[in-house]
Amino acid sequence: MFQLQRCIDPSANLGDYQAVVDAALAEMEASGVIARIWKHDHTVWKPEPTEITNRLGWLRIAEAMVENVPRMEALAAEVREAGYTHVLLLGMGGSSLAPELFSKVFAQANGLSLAVLDSTDPGAVLAQTERLDPGSTLFVVATKSGGTAETLSFFKFFYNRVAGALGAGKAGEHFVAITDPGSKLVDIAERYGFRACFLNDPNIGGRFSALSYFGLLPAALAGVDVRRLLDRAMAMVRACGPDVPLGDNPGAWLGAILGELAKSGRDKVTFAISPAVASFGDWVEQLVAESTGKEGVGILPVVGEPLGAAGVYGSDRLFVHIRLEGDTTYDADLAALNASGYPVVRFDLHDVYDLGGQFFLWEFATAVAGYRLGINPFDQPNVESAKVQARKMIAAYKEKGALPSVESAPLAAEAQDGFLAQARPGDYVSLQAYVQPTDETDAALAALRLKLRDRLHLATTVGYGPRFLHSTGQLHKGDGGNGLFVQFTHDPPQDAAIPDEAGGQESAMTFGVLIAAQSLGDRQALLDNERRVIRFHLGDDVVGGLKKLSEAL
């Protein structure tokens, strides 16, 4: 099956679920679903075209982007020749996750050193400030809407830093924009004299934008061979085409697996990804979670959770193995899980450029899974709720000079155990860390999630706030209500003012206030949706507090 030269080699051992997947493929063949998707037929998903017909540009964006490669490569050459050595991508969610992948997977590419800022924690912002030389850094401001609060706050902060170091007359040439035509950012780019402004296809949602300017421009700046990446993507586009029999169509096949197994109760898709390409998991997590978590259903991607023996898992798992050629890291563990009755899907990548095909494969499969689940995979009806609540918190701060106070649970076993006692089979535990991302915090969160998984036999996820609000945050409020949400906050040792306007000195708010408001807003949005939430305030010792909770388990 699947004669995809230089693309992927898929296989699956689904056990008793093979029959329902075969039936789903037969139904889709009979109803012409794949051809209808390629014809942009919104009735595949919903009777009305809203947030569907204007969200299908991803289907053909790989081919369209080929003619734009010279412009991206020319910018990369231009800034290298001008002495730039680093690029910092300022974005959130769909604007930042593909660039983050490229920064990690292609770290040794012959280009600018690429990093991503998608945390409003003041420590994260200041860490980039201390690390980067304004004179040799290019800042890419990426937001589809042009109005993403976090991204514009980053821009105003770094514009002032560059202007302070080099003068306002030279600051603009250190900035590049990626946005939709007609957005607020287009005007900002013109006003402040950005070096370039790249206008994306507006018919693509953020989480489907990896193969557009949002993913490919940062990749080109980092020295990635974007032509080669697009070649692999287009091979997958052809493999998922409207005239390919469904038995040979990997996107239809994977979508049927995801959708049908979720309907059968295996809605925790657990990824085991070769270490060299592990950051693909963060990208696919947003795609699947935000696309399917709505209307009381959802597929939960589980990324970064170490594999264990069969006894630590419930009956709600589907395992996906994405394996780079020559890597055997997870082979034995997954073989044992499959022998114990857990379904396993596997993709073999010939090299890292096969990720171009994986981008399109998972986009197409997610669209098909949405059809099987009866939902619109292209909207995000619950994402705005946390933003609305955060804006209310900020308004209260501006009026009263302080954010609303919320009581946190004590860092004690009794509080943690009492909350976890609510767990039911099929639930999951979501750790939400509104703290500075560091290697030490990563390790402490990983240790905690592992103990929770082994004790409760539930799926676990970890997300840093506010970035997860733009991805898994939709599923948290839109699924069937089977999440237990553990929120962590802290006292940042330093803070950083957000300018009211780029180039100005007035500031009504700091990043510390912004991230605190976002945590409060998300908590309230979860409560409004009748979700189970506990909040732990870690004070000035984030790692110590996490270890204390972990030891209590």
pLDDT digits (tens, 9 = 90+) for 163-176: 999 999 999 999 99
The residue-averaged pLDDT of 326-349 equals: 98
Confidence of residue 58 (pLDDT cuts 50, 70, 90): very high
Long-range contacts of 125-132 (CB under 8 A, 24+ apart): 125/154, 125/157, 125/496, 125/511, 126/494, 126/496, 127/436, 128/88, 129/158, 129/161, 129/496, 132/86, 132/88
For 313, residues 6+ apart whose C-beta sits below 8 A from its C-beta are: 337, 342, 457
Domains of the chain in sequence order: 9-30+246-373 (3.40.50.10490), 82-224 (3.40.50.10490), 383-552 (3.40.50.10490)
Kindly report the number of other CB atoms within 10 A of residue 545's CB atom: 19
Compute the distance between CA of residue 438 and CA of residue 421 in angstroms, rounded to an integer: 30
Asked if residue 104 lies in contact with residue 277, where contact means CB atoms within 8 angstroms, the answer is no
The residue-averaged pLDDT of 248-256 equals: 97
Element at 485 (helix H, strand E): strand 483-489
Confidence of residue 9 (pLDDT cuts 50, 70, 90): low
What's the whole-number average pLDDT of the chain?
Answer: 96
4 has a pLDDT exceeding 70: no
Three-class secondary structure assignment of 256-305: HHHHHHHHCCCCEEEEEECHHHCCHHHHHHHHHHHHHCECCECCEEECCC
Least confident span in 377-386, 451-460, 501-510, 523-532: 377-386
Residue holding tokens 């997958």? 236
The residue-averaged pLDDT of 187-215 equals: 98
Kindly list the distances between the CA atom of residue 324 and the CA atoms of 184, 204, 278, 355, in Å, as whole numbers in the listed order.
41, 29, 10, 10
Q: What local confidence, expressed as pLDDT, does residue 384 receive?
A: 87
Q: What local confidence, expressed as pLDDT, does residue 374 receive?
A: 98
Compute the distance between CA of residue 281 and CA of residue 236 in angstroms, rounded to an integer: 19
Kindly list the distances between the CA atom of residue 23 and the CA atoms of 45, 307, 365, 378, in Å, as whole numbers in the listed order.
19, 31, 17, 25
The residue-averaged pLDDT of 2-14 equals: 65
- Tens-digit pLDDT profile for residues 460-502: 999 999 999 988 999 999 999 999 999 999 999 999 999 999 9
- Tens-digit pLDDT profile for residues 264-293: 999 999 999 999 999 999 999 999 999 999
7 has a pLDDT exceeding 50: no
Asked if residue 201 lies in contact with residue 222, where contact means CB atoms within 8 angstroms, the answer is no
